[in-house]
A = this chain, B = another copy of it.
Amino acid sequence: MKYREFLMLHTLHHAEKGPITGTFMMKELRNHGYKISPGTMYPLLHEMEIKGLLKSRWEVRNKKRVRIYEITKKGKKALEEGRKKVAELCRELLGE
């Protein structure tokens, strides 16, 4: 499980709760100690859409045009898989 997968996992986690945008995710990740640059975030979201984990549409929010991403069925599956890996990681590093 590489770094980029963790970023995807976080993204899916938030997308599961509700629609997300690029700036929202950057702030959210920042709050959890992940300083992600736009040059990583936007291509990441795009890649996730290509992979079918998210689907996007344009929308106007706060008088700004933003791209809204929503999680797909495939994305939810990937999220569950990712959670299993994190659970394993916890068992491994934090004990049973």
- Let me know if A92 and B13 touch, CB within 8 A: yes
Across the two chains, which residue of chain B brings its CB closest to A4? Answer: B3
Residues of A that sit less than 8 Å from B by CB: 1-3, 6, 9-10, 13, 32-34, 82-83, 85-90, 92-94
Across the two chains, which residue of chain B brings its CB closest to A2? Answer: B3
Q: In the assembly, how many copies of this chain are there?
A: 2
- CB neighbours (8 Å) of A6 from chain B are 3
What's the minimum C-beta distance from A10 to chain B, rounded to whole angstroms? 7
Main DSSP-derived SS at the A contact region: helix
- CB neighbours (8 Å) of A1 from chain B are 33-34
Across the two chains, which residue of chain B brings its CB closest to A35? Answer: B2
- Let me know if B89 and A86 touch, CB within 8 A: yes
- Let me know if B85 and A94 touch, CB within 8 A: no
How far is B33's CA from A92's CA once the two chains are assembled, in angstroms? Answer: 12
- Let me know if B89 and A94 touch, CB within 8 A: no
Give 8 A-B pairs besides A1-B33, A3-B6, A86-B90 with Cβ atoms closer than 8 angstroms.
A1-B34, A10-B93, A33-B85, A83-B93, A83-B94, A86-B93, A87-B94, A90-B90
